[in-house]
Amino acid sequence: MKENNDLELDNYRSYRKENTSKLFSTSFSFPSGSFYSYKGWTQFDNDIINNLFLKLKVEWIDSDNPENFILNKLNESVTYHKPMIFYFWTPHQVFYLIFKNYLYNLI
């Protein structure tokens, strides 16, 4: 049985709620959650966020290497146990690297 303060993050409707979005916020996006993206990539992030009424704000990456920027942010997020929203294609090295570390810690 779930308690009232348990967050359900398994579908997009969860990201319409303010208490969920604050988990993913930064000083740039507060009180909305932050979603990292890069204008040089083909993306529809703002359209998707707006059409689904998500309490997220796209944080545009200003870097010559946006993939490394996201990987560094992800590493920081894992290190400090802070949630982060982004997406990568699969297969991608990041899924192996991160899950491998978790698997080794569980054994």
> What local confidence, expressed as pLDDT, does residue 85 receive?
84
> What local confidence, expressed as pLDDT, does residue 4 receive?
43
> What local confidence, expressed as pLDDT, does residue 48 receive?
92
Residues of the chain with pLDDT under 70: 1-7, 98-107
The answer to whether the beta carbons of residues 69 and 63 sit under 8 Å apart is yes
Q: Which spans in the chain are helix H?
A: 18-23, 45-51, 66-79, 93-106
> What local confidence, expressed as pLDDT, does residue 7 receive?
62
pTM over 0.75: no
> What local confidence, expressed as pLDDT, does residue 84 receive?
84
Q: Tokens 């992030």 identify what position? A: 45
The answer to whether the beta carbons of residues 14 and 7 sit under 8 Å apart is yes
> What local confidence, expressed as pLDDT, does residue 107 receive?
42
d(CA 97, CA 100): 5
